[in-house]
Structure 1
Amino acid sequence: MRGLLCSPLPMLLFLLQPWETQLQFAGPRCRSGPLDLVFVIDSSRSVRPFEFETMRQFLVGLLRGLDVGPDATRVGVIQYSSQVQSVFPLGAFSRREDMERAIRALVPLAQGTMTGLAIQYAMNVAFSVAEGARPPQARVPRIAVIVTDGRPQDRVAEVAAQARARGIEIYAVGVQRADVGSLRAMASPPLDEHVFLVESFDLIQEFGLQFQGRLCGKDLCTEGGHGCQHQCVSAPGTFHCACNPGYQLAADNKSCLAIDLCTQGTHGCEHHCISSPGSYFCRCRAGFVLQQDQRSCRAIDHCSFGNHSCQHECVSTFAGPRCHCREGHDLLPDGKSCEARDLCNGVDHGCEFQCVSEGLSYRCLCPEGQQLQADGKSCNRCREGHVDLVLLVDGSKSVRPQNFELVKRFVNQIVDFLDVSPEGTRVGLVQFSSRVRTEFPLGRYGTAAEVKQAVLAVEYMERGTMTGLALRHMVEHSFSEAQGARPRALNVPRVGLVFTDGRSQDDISVWAARAKEEGIVMYAVGVGKAVEEELRQIASEPAELHVSYSPDFGTMTHLLENLRGSICPDKETQA
């Protein structure tokens, strides 16, 4: 606290000066930083009219020493007595002339002295953002200058402490009868810098000079040592740090951190957001290119470049072009050429005999002498009943080895149209020349594949032609249950098929007749020099259905259809 006393002569000279000349504070305008400055003026009845006019001129003179503007110092004025009145808020005027005009139009309230009420109004209203104060995050100093001439009629200590706690710096100026204790209770520390006491309103300009000195003190930013990474913003007696655009102040209030706009979730990038200080840009994943909107991504069409060399089709992938073959084709190891696929090896075709691949499809074939059925897969076989079939094959010297191989192939073609199984058709094979040999009996093999493999393994005997001996062996042994024939009680047909190329060297009549008597249905197939009379003697009646002949081994396959129709008669024929 300090008192300001003047000798009579200087005082007289001062009073003789015009008001506005007296109160023009020397020195440049305060440009140390923006402020939100509110004057709280006591206009109670104790302030006489000429004293109030002095206070009004004091305010005008003080304004002229401030750098006033929306981005510099904003000024508001309130007056109080028993009530509080806003002369103009912080955001009302940006020109000094408008402020001066409002101050000159002030009319005192001339009532009590409710200083605590005025401080509360300043804290809750005058320094609100709605009234024009800048928000706290802007870090603009808030300063209240309270000018009073008496003792408050309400409590000021508690409300002043609340105001200071909210960051309002309070200067308390007492004139004449002001209570020093109340001034100290209102002001911010240190008190010797924030409490002023003058003996009369005539001397209040001394406070103006000192107050202006406070506001326009040293620029701490220019003296260095502030530690701000980007910007130092000076304020009266203090400073604060600020960051460049795209950065935000760190917890130490000095360092600056780049603002990661990507983390805010508003970037709109389809794939990746890459942050840079105060900005960002979008990036696409590999295999994509950024669209014109700089946010969305489009897959790169590698095939459109025209250098893929694919034989059929090009498919663009993230890694580049990839060749693809049309249906029914497979890609070759070079990754570009295509080869027609063998569907028979790649699908479950279901063909009973043979599958033939044809382009994008396939078809089934049947053995010669058999026809493809309506399902397009199966071949006509003896499926109308069970048969025990014994084949007597001539292995004499006249047949010769190469023709014997043709005979074995012919036998297997017969097997192809049979439904070979233990419950279906059973097949046995006997070879004869000068002697008789059972190659395999009826009960040995249960599938056509096994029978055919066994036929191919038969070795050529190459001797005489004892057809009668072979017929006897068939009757006495081949159709016995011991050899695999089914019991007669089951009524399974017994069929014998004799294959020969010449005249028999023994009598055939007895055992040919005996075979028929035993219920064996006999078929005779002759080739080359076979004797028709013997063939008819061997075969069952009628001979037209049971005798077949081919002039040579190379053309005997045409007999298969006749044999199929005979050995496998239609149901109507059986009926």
Structure 2
Amino acid sequence: MFRAIITAACAVSLLTCSSKAKPDKQKNLRPKQAIPAIGCDVRAGKINHMEFIARCPANCLETKQPVYGSRIFASISSICNAAIHGGIITNAGGSVIVRKVAWRDSYNGSFSNGVRSLSLPRWRESFIVTAGKPKKSVMYPHSLNYTTVRATSEKTVRLESKNSAATTVPPSRTRLKSTILTAAPREPNITAASKPRVAGHQTGVEMEQLDDHIRFIPDVSYTGSFAVRQQDSHPGAPAQAFSGNPNCMVDITFLMDGSWSIGRRRFNIQKDFLAEVAQVIDIGVAGPLMGVVQYGDDPVTEFSLKAYSNSNDVAAAVEKITQKGGLSNVGKALSYVNSRYFTNANGNRGGAPNVVVVLVDGWPTDKVEEASRRARESGINIFFITVEGPDEQEQENVLEGNFVDKAVCRTNGFFSLPVSRWFELRSAARPLARRLCDTERLACSKTCLNAHDIAFVVDGSSSVGTGNFRIVLQFVANITRRFDISETETRVAAVQYTYEQQLEFDFEKHGSKAEVLAAIEGIRYWSGGTSTGAAVAFAANKLFGKSKPNKRKIMIVITDGRSYDDVRAPALAVHRAGVIVYSIGIAWAVHEELEDIASDPIEEHSSFVGDFDELYKLAPKIFSRICREFNSQPQN
């Protein structure tokens, strides 16, 4: 009996324990982490969570969404592109964990994993992105809560009334467009009453597409038709001059169109554009510096390169500029900048490329070709932004057809940005900034490839022979094709000599690389004696006497034997005239003469090979020495 009672009690106890264990087991089961998907363009500041997990799609690299900073990113950065930049995911996509952190004084841009991040002086919030493997102790939100995007109405942006007064244009510049403006304004106007206000400091609040061309962003102050981005000021934040983007070491001057034809509204649009560019390129002493010249009848410096060392100060200075009026004398402005602006006193740094960006409403009222040519020859890169260019009826008022092609370095589209109407000007800010900071493509600035006048002095004596003479010409061509050849870049000339001298072609004869190479190939072997000294003097007189003062003068003398005349006196005269002389000897050339001809240091400027078939080996060495010497000298 007692045993039966004990058995029954145990059975009841087991049933009770099992019934309690079952719900406890169910209670400890965690739901599987759901990972919400986001788009490539989603910025961290648009999501209202301090920490969350998300899945990025594939091919975000193709979207080129902006990223600001490295490792720690400003909250206005694309999450997915920041993750690619940090190596957290690849372009195939993947899961990431985002954690919001405090604001930073500055965000340094860099290039990593195919993503170019930009620098930013300061932003209100930052974030860090890590690999998207959920932690066991953390439950991330299953869905993401986005900040509210304010609704906009058609009343936000109002077109000007057709009865509004048109801008007065002085009779000194007849402009057909100004009569059209009275009936059909060229861009919408945002009035003081209709300007939307951005309240508070809500993270990532964005006002989308008030019209087809305007997009308002957080923390803006309205100074005209566009919103100009300004950085937050935080209590206790140290005031400092930011260093700037070191990947964009460029000295930039903007030529503002202050002519009467542009009108006040479009002049303000121009100012907003300059302020936007200043923010994008990240002004600073270790990066780009920016100055402004306004032109009308005459140019005037608004502020120099050294005046301001950060983007906010530049934007504030631009806002204070008032319109001069007058004509659109671009040529006079380019001459002014070339002769008086890029100086040490104005803050020109020498090692940084010099860039001029010309904004012009319609067309210049004077000629630009000669002034721009002289500026390019001084090493200045010229960009043209033409807004609302002349139509078919207005073409007859243009003094120089294709004035942009005549002004810029090359007609490949890199140095020119046409904008169809002023209200679209802001869309050119980022494309222009990318080009200004692409220092490898600033081909008009002085580089080893485009800064020389090179004269080849070639021995055509009987000891050379026809076959070997062709080898020499091939050597000359191999050196030539390494340089950028044009009227404003490197120029090439050639002299052949025996007892006498023959000018094959001078520096002004051929204006392209193809023409120069064809001319070299067309040189016919002369045959005769060897008077190298007379040939050096002849080339110095006929060629470098007419060389442009801003060109680096180089003479390359090629000979296969002893000279019948003295080489020392002519060579010394050439050295004193500032010509850098390279001597190249072949076979029976005399080493002492090669050393007398060559500039100092002799070992860098004198070469010898024992046979014509070995001559080709010297071409890359000569080119390398020319560039090494050029790069070691201070440049404009």
What's the TM-score bracket when you normalise by the shorter of the two chains?
0.3 to 0.5
Under a length normalisation based on structure 2, what TM-score does the superposition of the two structures give? 0.32
Under a length normalisation based on structure 1, what TM-score does the superposition of the two structures give? 0.35
Higher strand share: 1
Q: Greater Rg, structure 1 or structure 2? A: 1
